[in-house]
Structure 1
């Protein structure tokens, strides 16, 4: 697919920021679920428990991507994809 000119050439994923936000979401949703459960509000407790579960799944995915190395968390000198090789000449 050709470039349209609007997307970044070498986009980076801010995985550590996403990890921090997912941790905050896990803590707040978990605390809210416990609080609502103690106040006998099972609907709200279940909703916040589901959000906490989604945050926990996101944490697992982000940690996996961070551990996979520079393909998912490249530095300035490492492209996020395999560089394009020049076409081979036919002899």
Structure 2
């Protein structure tokens, strides 16, 4: 399936450099990168957005105590004042 991407200049240069060093096509670099990314998510067998979210939820940093949605203003002020 043909696909078109718009890459930032730096990322495009990294893809080009990697393809050149490994002596493979840019397409192959992008395919391998996507395969690695998707296998790290390990979405096989997951059937819902909830399953996907629960996989990622543990990897997203938060306040550490779960009150950020309630006390976000207080949290931000404490961070600014250096009392995290």
Instruction: Output the TM-score relative to the length of structure 2.
Output: 0.30
Larger Rg over CA atoms: 1
